[in-house]
């Protein structure tokens, strides 16, 4: 079956709102290629293009895509088959007022460094950072669904997803979202050619990409737990993802979600599940720079069967 | 060469102070086996042994061991060759007033769960948690040297090390400490049969262990950077470790240390090194429960040669 393509040129959003209007509607099971532009909308094309402040609109998310039979209480499964770079340069920037070390006098902002993409074909792609080479490991920075009641710009992560900046959201992995609105209304963009856990300077190597996904709706009744926030499945782990004002608060939310999964899977009370969560896998930092910060709690698949 | 053994029965400390007195003195290059007792000093031997509060003395650290030619400004290299369990049960506990979800009404404290050790010989060891099996992956929870000016109980992590509760501090890896006092004065204990990144409930599976290490002094002048805090070397990464009041503050310290390493290795200014740190490896959570919390910043060895 040929994949249909959804392009950012047809539609992209800068805010996840409860009343998003679908750009396109597909059935559960649809295989799509989603074309995204870079998080800075092409504004940075050389080292001399610096950003004096965070643009009012960033992280354009291609979509929204409605899945025809998704209803509130369901779960949207997004299997990510591939993330391909579609330009030959990424860019890393510092911006005054943004980033982990914002205000540190040793750090200069604004600054821009273009990161040319090298290799490809049979060779693994890299990006050049000056004389150095960094392996290309693409990340989808912003991905989410229409939220329950509040609206969130694409700079902000929350329970609907959004600017999660989580390195595990990449080819080969699957992300699950709670469905809050009819059709779910998925959108994604803000890809990086490479990004560290933490995204300390405020960006990875921001780059346009196209993404192959398969979308599937899971009935809420088929789930072992009530999914409140995004969950990512990697080869070897399940990882609830939580965003909050502080890392401590995000850790608590992600750990509570991990406890709910472990308790349901093994018929444990919450204290036992908490103890078990303290023995294997553990807390991981997604990003520490967006207006809310994001943490995940990895649970190895050896300790947890599929919850849906 | 036969290893000499240093046993907790000969000496163990509950506080890292600047004026520690050596239990034993060895030369640089010494290969030792260090015998440790469990972090709770054997007080918990069944599920009915619960802890009403954090004991005044915990995390007994075997030592201190002076290395005869270590002087302030030097670096102590601790290569960890093996960590062997020396009892057949670990224990996980919740304690009122302690742990990430302390005060959460779904969590019961105090509670204790003994975790019997199973397997061994040709089979990989596991601990049993009820019907579940968790792989044994030992961690040295508390390891450090005599601090510069302040004293820290073995419950607290800081720039001297101490209660770092970092899963990478295990067999096969090497930890580097700044030397603050003549002889460095190393001590370690508080091992776990298994522990999640975060150590959410406040403990891993606490257990007595013996640890094989090789100690070596590196002259401060041989280092590319001024080491301020512990640094762990794994198979594939260098990871500065930092502890602070909040995870945000610990992230900043660990990231600044990573930036110093990257800047020195590649002759980058700090802004470039900050940008590079945002592209590869990244921030990792060690523990979120001790009186200070601990984070590390992984830099893949592909991006950083040995700093000493």
Q: Could you read off the pLDDT tens digit of each residue along chain B, which spans 308 residues? A: 678 999 999 999 999 999 999 999 999 999 999 999 999 999 999 999 999 999 999 999 999 999 999 999 999 999 999 999 999 999 999 999 999 999 999 999 999 999 999 998 778 999 999 999 999 999 999 999 999 999 999 999 999 999 999 999 999 999 999 999 999 999 999 999 999 999 999 999 999 999 999 999 999 888 888 999 999 999 999 999 999 999 999 999 999 999 999 999 999 999 999 999 999 999 999 999 989 999 999 999 999 999 98
pLDDT of residue B84: 97
Assess B191–A contact: CB distance below 8 Å, yes or no. no
The DSSP bridge pattern shows strands B61-67 and B24-26 to be parallel
Instruction: Tell whether the model's pLDDT for residue A2 goes beyond 80.
Output: no
pLDDT tens for each residue of A239-260: 999 999 999 999 999 999 999 9
Task: Report the percent of chain A where pLDDT is more than 90.
Answer: 95
Contact, A124 vs A194, CB < 8 A?
no
By C-alpha distance, the chain B residue nearest A107 is B271
User: What is the DSSP code (8-state) at residue A138?
Assistant: -
Separation of alpha carbons B161 and B170, rounded Å: 14
Residue range A20-32: mean pLDDT, rounded: 98
pLDDT of residue B1: 61
pLDDT of residue B290: 87
Residue range A206-212: mean pLDDT, rounded: 98
Assess B305–A contact: CB distance below 8 Å, yes or no. no
Interchain proximity A268–B130, CB inside 8 Å? yes
Residues of B within 8 A of A113 (CB-CB) are 272, 275
Interchain proximity B279–A200, CB inside 8 Å? no
Contact, A291 vs A202, CB < 8 A?
no
At residue B23, the 3 state secondary structure works out as coil
Q: How many Cβ atoms are within 10 Å of A90's Cβ, its own excluded? A: 32
pLDDT tens for each residue of A135-160: 999 999 999 999 999 999 999 999 99
Structure tokens at B224: 């590319």
Residue A222, exposed/middle/buried by CB under 10 A (0-12, 13-18, 19+)?
exposed
pLDDT of residue B223: 84
Structure tokens at B305: 């040669």
Interchain proximity B280–A135, CB inside 8 Å? yes
Backbone angles phi, psi at A271, to 5 degrees: -65, -40
- Which residue of B269, B282, B303 is in closest CB contact with A132? B303
Instruction: Using alpha carbons, list the distances in angstroms from residue A224 to A227, B72, B205.
Output: 9, 56, 28
The single residue listed with the structure tokens 């369901």 is A74
At residue B214, the 3 state secondary structure works out as strand
Listed by number, the residues of chain B in 205-224 with a beta carbon closer than 8 Å to a beta carbon of chain A are 205
Q: Dihedral (C-alpha) A93, A95, A98, A102: value to the nearest 10 degrees?
A: 100
Interchain proximity A246–B251, CB inside 8 Å? no
Sheet holding B132-135, edge to edge: B89-94, B111-120, B123-129, B132-135
pLDDT tens for each residue of A39-68: 999 999 999 999 999 999 999 999 999 999
Assess A149–B contact: CB distance below 8 Å, yes or no. no
pLDDT tens for each residue of A152-196: 999 999 999 999 999 999 999 999 999 999 999 999 999 999 999
Contact, B28 vs B69, CB < 8 A?
yes
Listed by number, the residues of chain B in 244-273 with a beta carbon closer than 8 Å to a beta carbon of chain A are 246-248, 251-252, 255-256, 266, 268-272
Assess A286–B contact: CB distance below 8 Å, yes or no. no
Residue range A7-36: mean pLDDT, rounded: 98
Taking Cα atoms as reference points, which of B145, B142, B308, B140 lies closest to residue B227? B308
Residue range A121-139: mean pLDDT, rounded: 93
pTM: 0.98
By C-alpha distance, the chain A residue nearest B253 is A101
Separation of alpha carbons A192 and A261, rounded Å: 30
By C-alpha distance, the chain B residue nearest A248 is B247
* Closest CA–CA distance from residue B152 to any residue of chain A (Å): 23
Question: What ranges make up the beta strands (E) of B104-262?
Answer: 111-120, 123-129, 132-135, 139-144, 152-153, 157-158, 161-162, 174-178, 186-192, 209-218, 231-233, 237-244
Residues of B within 8 A of A109 (CB-CB) are 271
pLDDT of residue A1: 61
Instruction: Tell whether the model's pLDDT for residue A17 goes beyond 80.
Output: yes
pLDDT of residue A270: 98
Q: How many Cβ atoms are within 10 Å of A45's Cβ, its own excluded? A: 14
Mean pLDDT of chain A: 97
Backbone angles phi, psi at A306, to 5 degrees: -60, 130
pLDDT tens for each residue of A77-94: 999 999 999 999 999 999
């Amino acid at each position: 079956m040929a994949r249909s393509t959804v392009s950012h040129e047809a539609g992209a959003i800068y805010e996840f709102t409860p009343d998003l209007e679908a750009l396109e509607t597909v059935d559960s099971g649809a295989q799509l290629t989603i074309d995204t532009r870079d998080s800075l909308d092409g504004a940075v094309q050389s080292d001399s293009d610096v950003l004096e402040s965070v643009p009012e609109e960033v992280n354009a998310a291609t979509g929204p895509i409605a899945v025809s039979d998704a209803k509130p209480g369901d779960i949207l499964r997004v299997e990510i088959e591939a993330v391909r770079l579609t330009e030959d340069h990424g860019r890393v920037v510092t911006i005054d007022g943004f980033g982990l070390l914002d205000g540190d006098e040793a750090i200069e902002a604004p600054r821009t460094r273009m990161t040319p993409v090298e290799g490809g074909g049979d060779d693994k792609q890299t990006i050049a950072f000056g004389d150095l080479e960094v392996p290309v490991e693409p990340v989808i920075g912003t991905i989410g669904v229409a939220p329950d009641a509040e609206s969130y710009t694409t700079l902000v992560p929350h329970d609907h997803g959004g600017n999660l900046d989580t390195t595990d959201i990449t080819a080969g992995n699957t992300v699950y979202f709670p469905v809050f609105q009819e059709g779910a209304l998925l959108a994604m963009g803000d890809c990086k050619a490479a990004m560290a856990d933490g995204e300390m300077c405020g960006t990875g190597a921001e780059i346009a990409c196209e993404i192959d996904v398969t979308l599937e709706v899971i009935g809420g009744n088929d789930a072992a737990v009530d999914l409140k926030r995004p969950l990512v499945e990697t080869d070897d782990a399940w990882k609830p993802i939580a965003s909050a004002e502080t890392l401590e608060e995000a850790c608590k939310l992600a750990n509570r979600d991990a406890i709910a999964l472990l308790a349901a899977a093994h018929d444990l009370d919450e204290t036992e599940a908490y103890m078990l969560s303290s023995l294997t896998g553990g807390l991981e930092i997604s990003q520490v720079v967006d207006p809310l910060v994001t943490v995940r709690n990895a649970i190895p698949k050896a300790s947890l069967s599929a919850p849906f």
